[in-house]
Amino acid sequence: MREYENGTETKLMRVVCNRCGRTLKVEDGYLKEGCFHGQAAFGYFSRKDGITQRFDLCEDCYDKVTAEFAVPVEENSETELL
C-alpha cells in the first residue's frame, strides 16, 4: 500500500507491506529497500471484471510467497540496476 503527499502520485510518503503490515523505509520520497509492487487490471470473463488491484510486498514476504509457487519464478542476473 502506497501513500503519497496530498493524495497525488508526486511524492511518496509511505509504503506498507500488504502481507505483514511492516512499514518500509522511505526517505525524501524515495523507497530505500527492496519491494515488489503488483498491479492487476481484471477484464472480461473475470470474477473481478472492471476492477484494478494494487499491492506491495516487502522482500521477506515476496520470498515467502514465491517459495510456495508450484513453478519457480524465472530468475536472471542484471548487470545494470535502475
pLDDT tens digit sequence for 22-67: 999 999 999 999 999 999 999 999 999 999 999 999 999 999 999 9
Q: Which pLDDT score, from 0 to 100, does residue 66 have? A: 97
Q: Residue 17 — very low, low, confident or very high, per pLDDT cuts 50/70/90?
A: very high
User: Nine-digit cell at 70?
Assistant: 508450484
Q: Among 6, 2, 28, which residue's Cα sits nearest to residue 15?
A: 2
Q: Which pLDDT score, from 0 to 100, does residue 80 have? A: 83
- 41 lies in some domain: yes
Q: Residue 82 — very low, low, confident or very high, per pLDDT cuts 50/70/90?
A: low
- 78 lies in some domain: no
Residue-range definition of the domain harbouring residue 31: 2-67
Number of separate domains in the chain: 1
pTM: 0.84
Q: How far is CA 40 from the centre of its chain?
A: 11
> Cα–Cα distance between 24 and 26 in angstroms, integer?
6
- 79 lies in some domain: no
Task: Write the CB contacts of 10 (distance below 8 Å, at least 6 apart in sequence).
Answer: 4
CA gyration radius, the chain: 15
